[in-house]
Amino acid sequence: MAGASIDVTEVREAVADMSQVPVRVLAKVRLIVAKGSLNIKNQLRAEAEKSRHFKLSTHINYELDSDEYGSQIGPVKVGAGNLANIAYFGGSRGGGGTLPDPRVALEAETAEFMRQLADAAVESVFS
């Protein structure tokens, strides 16, 4: 009886290579998070620069989370940064609230952030 044989060498190589995908993706995700955070910070600073009343631009920064897959972005509560809530959302007596909501900067970066993540996933799988 004749037997059939199938060469699965390439399949085995692909499986071995796929085991490295999580490492490659995660390294790229850290860079994408850092770049997106920088872009949001820069937009918040640019918006704050335009304010006649609140001088927050030098107090706006970002800090990556300890795992580097997230970040905290916004004014540091020091000096003029203590007035950030009033600058963004207004005070109880009706003043302030002249800066755009920080979520606007987040939403402006979302599409590019998602595109970068998708590209990183594809590159990690197919490179």
What are the tens digits of pLDDT across the range 33-59?
A: 999 999 999 999 999 999 888 889 999
- Answer yes or no: is pLDDT of 18 > 70: no
Q: How far is the C-alpha of 69 from the C-alpha of 58, rounded, in Å? A: 24
The reported pTM is: 0.80
- Answer yes or no: is pLDDT of 7 > 70: no
Tell me the average pLDDT across 6-18. Answer: 66
Residue appearing with tokens 């002249």: 98
- The percent of residues above 70 in pLDDT, for the chain, comes to 87
Q: What pLDDT score does 93 carry?
A: 84
Residue appearing with tokens 């952030």: 113
Q: How far is the C-alpha of 31 from the C-alpha of 113, rounded, in Å? A: 11
- Answer yes or no: is pLDDT of 1 > 90: no
Q: What pLDDT score does 30 carry?
A: 93
What are the tens digits of pLDDT across the range 68-121?
A: 889 999 999 888 888 899 999 988 888 778 899 999 999 999 999 999 999 998
Name 72's bridge partners. 63
Q: What pLDDT score does 8 carry?
A: 62
Q: How far is the C-alpha of 60 from the C-alpha of 72, rounded, in Å? A: 11
Q: What pLDDT score does 114 carry?
A: 95
Q: What is the DSSP string of 41-94?
A: HHHHHHHHHT-SS---GGGEEEEE-TTSS-EEEEE-SSGGGGGHHHHHH--TTS
